[in-house]
Amino acid sequence: MTHIKKICLLAVTGLLAGFVITSCSNQEIFSNTNPSVVPKDLSDVFKWRMTKDASPKREAITIAEDWRSLTPDSSHYAVWVGHATYLINTGDVTLLTDPIFSKRASPVGWAGPERLIPPAMTLSQLPPIDAVVVSHNHYDHLDLPSLIALQKANPDMVFLMPQGDKALLESKGLNNVSEFRWWETQKVNETTFTFTPVQHWSGRGITGRNTSLWGGWFLTGPDLSIYHAGDTGYSKDFLTTKARLGKPDVAFIPIGAYKPRWFMRNQHADPAEAVQIALDLETKKAFGMHWGTFILTDENISEPPVMLAEELVKRDLEPRFFTAPKPGEVLTLKPKF
């Protein structure tokens, strides 16, 4: 949903908190499918910061190097590079989701959330890329230095962006950029990319809160369908996505950045809700992401996969239905034959 009016925007810098400023302008403002779900206001930010005990202890999760076994002929695989970044080969296209290879998720290199682990693969170790999909413009999902480096290495690569973010990329000299409202599509090779609703918000600086869209990406290829949820709270959007686009063969779903629940619930699913998202989609296989890379919220670094495993046991689901892979692990994506 969108509306255009003269508004005064209260924007929070950084990813989740910081100083604020008010700016008035004519803007297209986006909202969730449930318009009552909005980002927390400044008083909530202060409450969170004032009541939290301490930041989680920094720790590094294990990185695998299985990806080194990949060859130019390898197909139908995925590699978790870190955070919401997956390298995915469908047999038809090779793409990256929400690529961030920078040391920090921040507009500056000297402050902001710093990586706990390096990317499982460096930019120079990637295969040729056909497309990049971005879910929304928060700094941990839309990292301009990474996008610039990727296009330099892949001049014909296309960028598929939410509505409202194309001008940002073009201002940095990037081209082959398309932007999308929910349910709009574009074909790359023989694969159809569809931008789908999720429950979140957008904003990169002191102005522009919710002036660009956010969403997930559903890929329908010749023999494989894939869903990447980006960054989202739990909502009925996933039932709608399944009803409109079908059941994905594979889904990549965030499992981290969920505490405290009173603050994060609307925008970040916890592991139990991530399992429900997978069940709503009726996907055959789900993989976790959005944990173990940056300290963004209050849960311990290694907690999300533990809670995910406990939730699968609680629901009597197979452990292999929804796994939290190691960064660098090669995940086989089985095509439909």
3-state secondary structure of 81: strand
Distance CA 259, CA 165 (A): 28
**Model pLDDT for residues 179-198, shown as the tens digit of each residue:** 999 999 999 999 999 999 99
Lowest mean pLDDT among 21-35, 36-50, 94-108, 238-252: 21-35
pLDDT for residue 22: 32
* pLDDT top residue among 23 and 313: 313
Q: What is the mean pLDDT of residues 223-243?
A: 98
Distance CA 280, CA 40 (A): 26
Which CA distances in Å does 227 have to 74, 98, 252, 310, 317? 21, 13, 6, 24, 20
pLDDT for residue 2: 52
Quote the mean pLDDT of the chain: 92
Q: What is the mean pLDDT of residues 257-273?
A: 97
Checking if the pLDDT of 141 tops 50, the result is: yes
Q: What is the mean pLDDT of residues 227-237?
A: 98
pTM of the model: 0.92
Distance CA 228, CA 216 (A): 6
Going along the chain from its start, the domains and CATH numbers come out as: 2-332 (3.60.15.10)
